[in-house]
Amino acid sequence: MRKVFWLAFLFLLGCGGPKYVVRYRYLPPVDPGARKCLKECERKFQACEKRCQKEQEDCRRRARQEAVKLYQEMLKTYRQELRAYRERSRLYHRELTLWNDEYRRLYEDYLFFKKACQEEEDERACRRRRELERHLEALEHEKPLKPREPREPRLEDISRKLAASCKKDCGCQKAYDNCFLSCGGKLIPEKFCVENCPEGSK
């Protein structure tokens, strides 16, 4: 019973329970002389953020340029595959029509001899019915396979995939926190609700 209770409890937590993260409260140093130190931390942080933003923009621009080149290559390949697919599709429909005609002919014969076997108890008709059953079964395995249509490349998908490798965190916040601590400040970790929060918990 206890095991069932814990499973139900964990299920409820996974479905709709509150979600928490750790956030820090910054307590500046009490020493008035540390103000200059904190300003230097802020200056370095702003410079880091500015540099990081430029690096990210440059990276995304390079990713876009590379995506355009890759897209042109993939588009050329796609068009070749599309022409081949259309030819395979044309052959497939022709082969499928022939297969359907053959299958229909054999199946009509099978139904005829099946009826003759059941109603007239004709041994030759029963033997022919069994032969047709085997032919139909073999024919099922010979049914033409529909060719797969190639997927057209999308520039935005390629660009997004390449841009995903661009650095998103330059470590500016971590560097600032270390600088803040070196100036004599304190970081107090606090539990903070970010999703499905109980009323008044934030």
Going residue by residue through the chain (202 aa), what tens digit of pLDDT does each one get? 344 334 444 444 555 678 888 888 999 998 888 899 999 999 999 999 999 999 999 999 999 999 999 999 999 999 999 999 999 999 999 999 999 999 999 999 999 999 988 888 788 989 999 999 999 999 999 999 999 999 999 999 999 999 998 988 899 999 999 999 999 999 999 888 888 888 765 5
Reduced to 3 states (helix: H, G, I; strand: E, B; else coil), residue 171 is coil
Angle between helices 172-182 and 35-120 (to 10 degrees): 150
What are the tokens at 163? 């841009």
**Which candidate, 194, 189, 193, places its Cα nearest to that of 26?**
189
Give the integer Cα–Cα distance in Å for 9 and 6: 5
